[in-house]
Amino acid sequence: MAKKLTPEGVAVLPTSPGTGPMHTVFHALGVPIAGFGLGNANSRDHAGDENVSIADYYSHVELVEELIASYE
């Protein structure tokens, strides 16, 4: 799904998505978890000049829409 919307490629990084340790949710519920964010290498995540381009924002919205639709 993400590859279709991201012509420049997709990076898969083993991190703890969001603000919390997802392994706790995984162990409590026993279900697989995937997290994804928006941005690119120039977004400067969590830096003083963190930013998201408008194009990245709309691509992320489209990805979330497709993800939700895949469960309907």
- The alpha carbon torsion through 71, 45, 14, 37 (nearest 10 deg) reads 10
Q: What is the pTM assigned to this prediction?
A: 0.64
pLDDT in tens, 22-47: 778 888 998 877 777 788 888 888 88
- List the structure tokens of 61: 């919205």
SS3 10: coil
pLDDT at 8 over 80: no
